[in-house]
Structure 1
Amino acid sequence: MPQENTSVLHIGWMSRAVAALTRAGADVTCVLAPADLKDARAAHPRLRTVVVPDQTNVEGILSGLARASLDIGGFDAVCSGLEYCLAAAAVLSDLGGLTTSATRRAIAMRDKAVQKALVRAAGVATAECVTVDTLNEVSRRADRFPAVVKPLNGSGAQSTYRLERPESLDAYLDAWTGKGPWLVEEYISGDEFQVDGIVRDGEITLLSVSRYLENLIDIHDGGLVAHIALPPEYDPDLYEKIRLLAHSSLKALQHHDGVFHLEVFRRGDEIVFGECGGRVGGGRTDEVVRRSFGFDLHDEWVRALLGRPSAVTLAPEHTAGVVHGGMNLHAPHGRVLRAPAHDEVLARPGVVHAELRCVPGWTMPDVTAASHLRAGVVVLSGTDDREVEARMRDLADWYAGQVVVAPAGESGGR
């Protein structure tokens, strides 16, 4: 796979994406924010970096490249493994004459209104929705309640709320101060699933379907953020229905080569499209998929980006006799006085991988705001999904109970 002298501009700092590019033999330049420079230098001392105030701002990126005497047209590829940087990377790719439709595809994968219109036109079931310029329009534009209000290009359920009735809008206004516009959409009931995979030449070569323990939107009510990758043989009918939806959706979004991260709902016998991103899923989705199917999504993303053959030649089999899942660790909000150590977490039943943020002196954020706010992330295994779920719930309760935070009103920490 490695091929020397391929010049790649990566927008935003993401260590695993840069590492995958480097493994592929690419000469990487990374555009990043000042706060990321220290971590980037520590992880990749020889990485060429361009520091900009906002790594999602195209004008700022072009200015930074000019300051570094770099020309966008001098790169063989422009990309990003980060959700919020995808559109900027696509615009820069178009400016460099690298791909004629990159910007259109990136917008389709980011803007929820554009995305839903495209898949609906392709015959895929999805929520009815409308955009509003001001939040004051929500109550009169929502056809029925409950309804969902979200930013057009958000992620991780941040600022995404279910409004039970028109009066619920006041709480949303208090929680979100962004500028909009917003998407107001029909609330889809039913179980939510996370779908991750690889698509090459428009054909899905790897498909991983994970069931959420609780729907993501329930995070705002204290819901647990956790998913378990289901072996295909557990529910072949579910896998087939999701494969058909994913194929039609990716075709409508013109996402023919790369990786994808999709959210769907099962409403009775129907599978309903939620959202789709042309990236590796968050948390440690990559680790769950690797342990479940034996392939690295980041490496496959790089292969598609650089036009190299995929390592996945046939639909891979799920690891026999073992089921894996990923979960966010939650803890009380406040300045941390005591928290379990890494070795303690790894010693819990089923834990095979753990990354912890929560250490004494750190300020634990309010995890009900978004799915990326967490004490840490773990990957667990078990003989079946029920055992994994039981281990997840036990671990979540144990961990949260072990964390001690300072009484409300005390400040400090980092």
Structure 2
Amino acid sequence: MTSGGPRHVLVIDHIGYHYYQDTDGRKFLPADDNRVHLVTDIRKLDQARGAELASVVGIPRGDDVLLEAAALFHQGATGRPVDRVVAISEGLLLAAARLRDKLGVPGPTEEQVLGYRDKVTMKDRLRDHGIRVPDYAPFTESAAQRLLARHGRVVAKPRRGESSAGIAFLDGPDDLRRLLAEAARSGVTPDTYEVEERIEGTLFHIDSVVSEGVPLAATAGRSIEETTSYRHLGAFRDVAVGPGDTLDRLLRFNRAVLACFPHFSGVTHHEVFLTEDEVVFCEIGGRPGGGGIIPGFHSRTGVNLDEMAVLAHLGEEIPRPAPPADHLTGYALVYAPPGRLETDLTPPATDWIIDTQLRFQVGDVMPRPTGWNQAAATVTVRGRSEAEVTSRLDQVIGILQDRLHGGSGKQG
């Protein structure tokens, strides 16, 4: 809180204001200390409730011009400058940084945020610090050809993409030609992509609460399926890594990477490949991970990652979480075929299901998913071992897929 009374906080959001409180309704921006000026998705206006809200504007998601205009409206309408700008969604981190720069507000700058938002910028930084990154380049046709000749298999990714959308695997010149033709048809400019060698290894993630580049607490998880499984409507499973050599290697690598961001405090979601010989960087984000990572982290440490991200953007000290508990967690993403949902997807109540997130309710028309984060249901479980967590995820997936494909979800 500022010395002159409650601080004025600009929150830019497109996932819904209910993410700014915990499951018990405790606000991360309590009214005693904050006056919140919210810019949110117009479809999420029903979530904009609370005594701390001083003003609210709803805009269509993805309209950057309106986003800035709404933010500047808040700035003028308050009669005083806002003290902080807060955003917890990956797709809004750069917009929030630009607003801080424009308004002279403390917090992560655009230059700093690019280091964990733009896939080329982050690899440039880490390579210069001696971190093992894939062989990569900003996308051009000639760069893709060189990397294909050198490695045989490459992957093209949107430099600032989210949720594995737009990723293309290139196994030869024909794939490259198809990618360029598709980009031309869709109006996508190749310079918004990067291209890199395809690492043949298992994908892991490390999720951390960080203070000035030092992890205060971290957990790791293993992706069992490809993050592009949504394309064929296959379920995605992710299981926490238990104590042992693998976890130790991942946490050491995570500490080395975070040391390259000494200015950073908050929450990171760090993805790496583990091969037989080495740990290879994939990407890092300065925000909480998706899927069931937030409830899983909370189950093991008692800490809400969204709250830690908010505290960091407010410039407050990041508290040290408790060491992760001995039990493990994991989550499943279950994707639905397009059509009308006719059966509730809430799984049966058990003492080991710790969180369920449903994207659709009975009667909703479900579009085909176009990104990893567009699951019909996300279910987080706990267990005593990786094997038990995996078995429980398989039980949940079986139940929900039976409902979706056994007459409960009609194809469109």
Structure 1: where are the runs of 5+ without partners? 409-414
Greater Cα shift, 290-299 or 68-77: 68-77
Q: Tell whether 2:278 aligns with 1:270.
A: yes
CA distance in 2, matches of 1:299, 1:155: 21
- Taking a change above 3 Å as real, the CA distance of residues 352 and 101 of structure 1, as seen in their structure-2 partners, is closer
1:183 to 178, 190, 194: 194
1:277-296 aligned at under 5 Å gives the runs: 277-296=285-304
CA distance in 2, matches of 1:171, 1:220: 18
CA distance in 2, matches of 1:365, 1:174: 25
Q: CA deviation at 1:188?
A: 0.8
CA deviation vs aligned residue, 1:80-104 (integer Å, no higher than 9, x gap): 1011110010011112223486111
The amino acid of 2:197's aligned partner reads E
- Taking a change above 3 Å as real, the CA distance of residues 122 and 136 of structure 1, as seen in their structure-2 partners, is closer
State whether residues 147 and 154 of structure 2, in contact with CA within 8 Å, keep that contact through their aligned partners in structure 1.
no
1:5-404 aligned at under 5 Å gives the runs: 5-13=6-14, 14-19=16-21, 20-23=27-30, 25-37=33-45, 39-41=46-48, 46=53, 48-53=55-60, 57=64, 59-68=65-74, 69-70=76-77, 74-99=81-106, 102-132=109-139, 138-139=144-145, 142-143=148-149, 144-169=151-176, 172=179, 177=186, 178-181=188-191, 182-231=193-242, 234-235=243-244, 237-312=245-320, 316-320=322-326, 322-336=327-341, 338-342=342-346, 345-347=347-349, 350-367=352-369, 369-403=370-404, 404=408
- Taking a change above 3 Å as real, the CA distance of residues 222 and 330 of structure 1, as seen in their structure-2 partners, is closer
CA distance in 1, matches of 2:81, 2:7: 11
Greater Cα shift, 355-364 or 181-190: 355-364
- Taking a change above 3 Å as real, the CA distance of residues 6 and 67 of structure 1, as seen in their structure-2 partners, is closer
**RMSD, aligned CA:** 3.0
Q: CA deviation at 1:399?
A: 0.9
CA distance in 1, matches of 2:96, 2:203: 30
CA distance in 2, matches of 1:188, 1:173: 22
CA distance in 1, matches of 2:50, 2:197: 44
CA distance in 2, matches of 1:211, 1:398: 23
Greater Cα shift, 149-158 or 290-299: 290-299
Q: CA deviation at 1:136?
A: 9.0
Aligned residues: 395
Q: CA deviation at 1:123?
A: 0.7
Structure 2: where are the runs of 5+ without partners? 22-26
CA distance in 2, matches of 1:197, 1:149: 27
Question: What's the secondary structure of 2:257's corresponding residue?
Answer: helix
CA deviation vs aligned residue, 1:281-310 (integer Å, no higher than 9, x gap): 112311110001221212222332223333
CA deviation vs aligned residue, 1:116-144 (integer Å, no higher than 9, x gap): 111111111111111125x7974466443
CA distance in 2, matches of 1:43, 1:330: 33
Q: CA deviation at 1:389?
A: 0.6
Question: What's the secondary structure of 2:116's corresponding residue?
Answer: helix
Q: CA deviation at 1:172?
A: 4.3
The amino acid of 1:355's aligned partner reads Q
